[in-house]
Structure 1
Amino acid sequence: MIRKVWPLTVAAIALGIDVYVVAGVLPQIATSLATTVAMVGLGVTAFTAAYAVAGPLLFGRLTRGSTARAILIALGVFNLGNLITMLAPDVTVFLASRVITGAGAGILTAVATATAAAMVGEHERGRAMSLVAFGLSAGTVAGVPVGMLIGQDLSWRATMGFVVLIGLLSMTALTLRARTLPRLDTTARQPVFTVLRSSKTVPGRVRSC
């Protein structure tokens, strides 16, 4: 099972690192872009906001035709955003790049988790999904120290280049396995954000016992 899922786990590691890697090099980025740490910190907010919205909105549309296409598009957007971050000449481009990266990451998380579950038998779905979650967690834990270590020895742009390298490795592996990726069933999915209107999740609509 691990042989099937490992490219998705590597993608999740890249995503997890990217979530917090910027936090470790905020002062360097601010100095390089001639701005304040607070302004650069908005990049984390931009990433998170795009991450939260892109997955629910675009998952169904992208996976209707081909799972491979959906996951490669998500990885492509994610890698492109990080590449623009690495080359950003000013804070405006930097913030825009974090929005692009966050959107790709949000879609990637949703598609990778669903694909991992669909690649194995029903009795192994929990383990497959946990491997993707492990990649996210491992990358998140490693994000700040990796960013600081590479940033101190080289530069914050090298830190972002490291994330791009991991993303490209995963993208290459998934491209080679594109024909083996299962098609995801999206026909039974409810409209986006329906859960927010459910009485089970909205406190004001919970029925009293």
Structure 2
Amino acid sequence: MPPWLFVLLAVSFVLYTDDYVIAGILPEIAADLGVTEGQAGQLVTAFSATVAVAAPVAAVALARVPPRRLFLVALIIFALANFGAVGTSSFAVLMVLRVVAAAATASATPAIFAFAASHAPTEKTGRYLATVSLGVTGSIALGVPLGTWIGGAFGWRATFLAVAVAGMLALIGVLLTVPGSGRGDRSPRLSEQLRSLTRAPIAVSLAANCLLMAGTMMVLTYLAPYLSATAGSGVEERGVAFGLSGFAGMAGIWLGGQVADRWGPGRALFLGIGVIIAAMVAMWAMWAVRPVPIWLVLIVTTVWGGMAFWNSPAIQMRLHRLAGPLAGQALALNTSGTYLGIAFGAAVGGVVLSAAGPGVLPLAAAGFGLAALLLLEVVRRTPPSSEAWNSGSTSPQSNSSKHTDNLGE
């Protein structure tokens, strides 16, 4: 694989570490800036909400900007925002800087995935998308613990400094490896984009991703109380469970990309969602007969963690094929759907936890997975349509035009 692909992996790793790393240094930020931990936690909310709102807007507004230039400008702004966070003593200023960093992330993320997919050989689209996606899962499995350790050893400002420096290193990588040829997409008018992007196959894929993320985060957010109630686990066992799930997610996203290339995204999604539903039913069954050995719970949660991220390359690959030259905008909407699913899953999970206890969470998540599977089945044999690529838009990129099959179903 080309060097630029691994540079884009590093870019996504840095961008998403900046989002999640706040969770590990919340107490220090709150104490130093004179706010409660609940208020400090809104730094995460502000970042996530900004990405969700800004990603599709940026994808439309910046569609004609050459990708390499977009990556460079976004990384410069991102690094400056984090350098600013190092020196601020105002929580309000820090909040503004988090929004600026999130806006830079939202601008670059859809273009990263679209660039990787459009420059991939036809038979390796899934693997290229999986490689870039490893940066997102890797930020949870590696970036957050590393940032937390830096904050604990040298203070929370050192964490932001490390992220800023990592952003500059990623920028250098982009300068050295990412091809500079080519222009941004000559996208059709906004009304034509909306008409194309709201076609049933694309809309259903976006909705399915949102539902899958909601189910995943419903369980992940409240995994600790589930483990305590089911296996009587303590802090160490919970740490092992989260760690195994994170690394399984990295393996799952890579294997999911390879399977999507071989089987097509439709069959890969069917397998991934099916295993998730089975794992959720198994987690509910273990809770029903609790207590159960922690090793048994860890096996199931690790399998679930791997398959939860397995579906990401297949969803992105499906959207890239369906949207043609609007792939960047479709992937931007997918980013928004991911963040909306995260927020919705955490909120609904909290209600379920309070009303019925942790054991019902896996069943509710299985319901979300089943709903996503049924939605995808509705449009299972719908191939890419030229309807999305007319009205004055450019012809589909070479890779997209080759995919005139039924998305692997």
Which residue type is aligned with residue 144 of structure 2? Answer: V
Q: State the match for 2:194 in structure 1.
A: 191
In our comparison, the structure showing a higher alpha carbon Rg is 2
Q: State the match for 1:52 in structure 2.
A: 52
Q: What does residue range 21-170 of structure 1 map to in structure 2 within 5 Å?
A: 21-170=21-170
CA contact (8 A) 2:58 2:106 kept: no
Gapped runs of 5+ residues in structure 2?
209-370, 379-409
Structure 1 Cα separation of the partners of residues 178 and 149 of structure 2: 35
Shift of 1:139: 1.0
- For each residue in 1:10-46, what CA deviation from the matched residue of structure 2 results, as whole angstroms up to 9, or x when unmatched? 1011022112111100010111112211111111110
Identity %: 30
Structure 2 Cα separation of the partners of residues 186 and 37 of structure 1: 46
Shift of 1:176: 2.8
SS of 1:63 mapped into structure 2: coil
- For each residue in 1:51-82, what CA deviation from the matched residue of structure 2 results, as whole angstroms up to 9, or x when unmatched? 11111001232230311121222222222222
User: What's the TM-score once normalised by structure 1's chain length?
Assistant: 0.86
Distance 1:71 1:37, change over 3 A: same
Shift of 1:193: 10
Distance 1:123 1:158, change over 3 A: same
- For each residue in 1:112-140, what CA deviation from the matched residue of structure 2 results, as whole angstroms up to 9, or x when unmatched? 11111122322222111111100111012
User: What's the TM-score once normalised by structure 2's chain length?
Assistant: 0.46
How many equivalent pairs are there? Answer: 205
Shift of 1:187: 2.1
Gapped runs of 5+ residues in structure 1?
none
Taking CA–CA contacts closer than 8 Å with sequence separation of 6 or more, which of the two structures ends up with the larger relative contact order?
A: 1
4+ long deviations beyond 6 Å: 196-199
Distance 1:96 1:59, change over 3 A: same
Which residue type is aligned with residue 190 of structure 1? Answer: Q
Structure 2 Cα separation of the partners of residues 85 and 140 of structure 1: 21
Which residue type is aligned with residue 165 of structure 2? Answer: L
Which residue type is aligned with residue 54 of structure 2? Answer: A
- After superposing the two structures, state which structure 1 stretch, 164-173 or 78-87, moved more: 78-87
CA contact (8 A) 1:72 1:174 kept: yes
SS of 2:35 mapped into structure 1: coil
Structure 2 Cα separation of the partners of residues 196 and 45 of structure 1: 30
Structure 2 Cα separation of the partners of residues 66 and 34 of structure 1: 43
Residue 171 in structure 1 maps to residue 171 in structure 2 = yes
- After superposing the two structures, state which structure 1 stretch, 67-76 or 161-170, moved more: 67-76
